[in-house]
């Protein structure tokens, strides 16, 4: 899932080399922390959070096949 998030985020931002995803395991979920360049944070969040909401939906759908919960955080 980290690879999927990295690929999608690189398509959205102006500086794809700055995209980095950290993965942390918790007892009930996998937490993906997305790091982008400071100028690209708005592009990843989108107007009224629409882009980040769509990213979370895609990740939830990908995790459902593995019976896992996933959370996305923008750092």
* DSSP-derived pairing of the beta strands 20-25 and 30-35: antiparallel
Question: How does pLDDT run across 17-53, given as a tens digit for each residue?
Answer: 999 999 999 888 999 999 999 999 999 999 999 999 9
Q: How many separate domains does the chain show?
A: 1
Q: Is 70 helix (H, G, I), strand (E, B) or coil?
A: strand
The parent domain of residue 16 ranges over 2-74
Lookup result for tokens 């899932």: 1
pLDDT at 38: 95
CATH number for position 46? 3.30.300.20
pLDDT at 19: 96
Over 90: is that where the pLDDT of 12 sits? yes
pLDDT at 59: 93
Q: Is 10 helix (H, G, I), strand (E, B) or coil?
A: helix
């Amino acid at each position: 899932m980290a690879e999927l998030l990295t690929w999608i985020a690189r398509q959205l931002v102006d500086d794809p080399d700055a995209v980095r995803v950290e993965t942390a395991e918790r007892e009930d979920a996998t937490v993906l922390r997305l790091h982008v360049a400071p100028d690209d944070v708005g592009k990843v969040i989108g107007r009224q959070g629409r882009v980040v909401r769509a990213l979370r939906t895609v990740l939830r759908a990908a995790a459902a096949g593995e019976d896992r919960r996933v959370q996305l955080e923008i750092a």
